[in-house]
Amino acid sequence: MPLLPSVLMKRKLEKLHAKDRKPVADVSDDDDDQPVTKRAAILLANGEDSRSRTCPYLDTINRHLLDFDFEKLCSVSLSHLNVYACLVCGKYFQGRGTSTHAYTHSVSEGHHVFLNLETHRFYCLPDDYEIIDGSLDDITYLLNPTFAREDVASLDTNPRMVRAYNGLTYHQGFVGLNNIKANDYCNVVLQMLSHVSPLRDYFLDMNNYRALLTTSSDHMHLLVQRFGELIRKLWNPRHFKTHVSPHEFLQAVVLCSKKRFQFTEQGDAVEFMSWFLNALDMALKPKKRSQQGKEAKSGTITILSRSLRGCMRVYSRKILPVNLTAEEKMALADSAEYMLTTADIKFFYLTCDLPPPPLYLDEFKESIIPQVSLATLLAKFNGTTEKEYKTHRDSVMRRFELRRLPPYLILYMKRFVKNIFTLEKNPTIVNFPIKSIDFGDLLEPECRTQHKYTTYDLVANIVHDGPPTPGSGTHRIHLLHRGTGKWFEMQDLHVTEILPQMIPLSETLVQVWAVNKSILNPLYVRPVPKSDLTKTGQTTDNLVNAAEVVRSGQIELSNVGIKQKDGNIAEEPGVAESNP
């Protein structure tokens, strides 16, 4: 088909203009990391388009419709490459060339202002020139929040509320999470981990884990990237709306867990928490190349291990069969299989076994709701309480003894019990104070002298409501705002203030306790530097004897040092990993 004369004339004019154009400096996508002011200076030096600073379409931007929480996919082609957001209607489109969906949208709908979601640059379509204007900085910050060190350091002490663009006020970090369909079990775990201060501070600075995103070859790096983005959005002080959607993070969870956890059906919050903590801990470890060329995990201690991981010693002893004679039992008792064994293991959370509910009704023919104190549940870890654990082959008597307490201790109340026929829920109410619980009583005396702080305060409490049947029940969480001392109840998008007296009355499922550094452990023994030990010639046995004298209260605590039996100076709890 022959071209029209007008088309031929247009092409000739374009060729003539192309010859007259002067070469300009490179302002390609490699300069995306440069600040806008630096890019603007380059453009001005090269003869910047005069329309860049006088775009007439800035007043068409509708900030009420902007939402960058969802996956960055083109709404037409579902492609994730070169995606632009229309700042007038909030939809995502691919490309900005004349044959792209973004260009077609700008012509057909009359929407002209677009944002590149990867480079954070603004463009006007279909004219195709970059927009440079300081009034767009709030949109860039909404897409990619950044935090200075001074701001991060004051998060736990800031009592002020901030105002969102829609006019609502909120405390920084206390915003709702959108429940897409049935992901409330994920939301409460994410809210809980976002208030673990060392973990939060680590992910607020993207430089801490930027190298992991480029060196990892598997899908697990997506978990780190999406979780970091979600933490930064939760603590954004310049929200347009007072809620955040975890859609991108949940997509990464579905991919990394191989569809084990879905956000379209209800799941187990504790099971998700256990998987996520271990997966995130493995993903945060930098990989190193082995001699065979394969990637191997290094032994680096991650921020997750330093904040949440403790150490305990497990004593196990197999029970002798009951159908044996006395002589056979005596012979088996001396065998290695039935001797007492010990093992030091690390943990992210402690499982507390609730007592079984009563079988009978009360005098009013109503169900009895039993109550138990938290101290009774924690007696499982005092090193003396022994319990039988049955397997499909034999039974084992075990007792647990805590060796090291982490700065943040997670407790799991085992409410759901599976039997042969169904899943049952234990309705027992756990009574506990929300402040000043001394977990040092669970430590071995020698280990207790190595912990500078053993008093903990409650900072998060996850609750499960409803029956235990799959697909039913809801989760909510109680969180402490440390700047004001107030407690807030969060259930998906709803954030309400709650009285602290109401917290123990709920069916708690998971608790997070933070160490209180204002209360010193009275039995703490300051470690002596190795140089001082060499000068004085003190031996390990002398130091251990000194610790025994300290426990008897015969000498001053501050003048004695204690040393571990393996010759390593004892460290504060949670500072370094134990080497069992």
Instruction: Report the 3 state secondary structure along 101-136.
Output: HHHHHHHHHCCCEEEECCCCCEEECCCCEEECCHHH
CA dist 511 and 62 (Å) reads: 41
Token readout for 576 is 């370094």
Token readout for 81 is 């490459």
- DSSP label at residue 355: P
Q: Compute φ and ψ for 326, nearest 5 degrees.
A: -65, -40
**Domain(s) of CATH 3.90.70.10: residues in the chain:** 145-297, 343-515
Phi-psi region of 471 (alpha: psi -120 to 50; beta: other; left: phi over 0): left
- In degrees, rounded to 5, the angle at the alpha carbon of residue 172 between the alpha carbons of residues 168 and 173 is 115
User: What CATH topology corresponds to 343-515?
Assistant: Cathepsin B; Chain A (3.90.70)
CA dist 276 and 280 (Å) reads: 6
Buried b (16+ CB within 10 A) or exposed e, 114-135: bbbbeebbbbbbeeebbbbeee
- Burial tier of 396 (Cβ tally within 10 Å: 0-12, 13-18, 19+): middle
**Domain(s) of CATH 3.30.40.10: residues in the chain:** 49-142
Reported CATH class of domain 145-297: alpha beta
> What are the residue ranges of helices labelled H in 422-539?
445-448, 530-536
CA dist 141 and 151 (Å) reads: 15
Token readout for 298 is 């290094």
Write down the pTM of the prediction: 0.79
Each residue's pLDDT, cut to its tens digit, for the chain (580 residues) gives 444 445 445 455 455 444 444 343 333 344 444 444 444 454 545 556 777 888 889 999 999 999 999 889 999 999 999 999 999 999 999 988 888 999 999 999 999 999 999 999 999 999 889 999 999 999 999 999 999 999 999 999 999 999 999 999 999 999 999 999 889 999 999 999 999 999 999 999 988 888 776 655 568 888 999 999 999 999 999 999 999 999 999 999 999 999 999 998 888 999 999 999 999 999 998 766 544 444 445 557 899 999 999 999 999 988 877 777 777 777 777 777 788 889 999 999 999 999 988 777 766 666 778 899 999 999 999 888 888 888 777 788 899 999 999 999 999 999 988 877 788 888 899 999 999 999 998 998 889 999 999 999 999 999 999 887 766 789 999 999 999 999 999 999 999 999 999 999 999 999 999 999 999 999 888 887 766 555 555 444 444 444 444 444 443 333 333 333 333 333 333 333 333 3
Are the CB atoms for 182 and 272 separated by under 8 Å? no
- Burial tier of 263 (Cβ tally within 10 Å: 0-12, 13-18, 19+): buried
Instruction: Look at residue 369 in the predicted model and tell me its pLDDT.
Output: 81
Query: What are the Cα distances from residue 412, in Å, to 344, 352, 374, 438, 461?
Result: 20, 6, 11, 18, 10
Please give the CATH architecture assigned to the domain spanning 49-142.
2-Layer Sandwich (3.30)
Of 126, 124, 72, 86, nearest to 104 (Cα)? 126
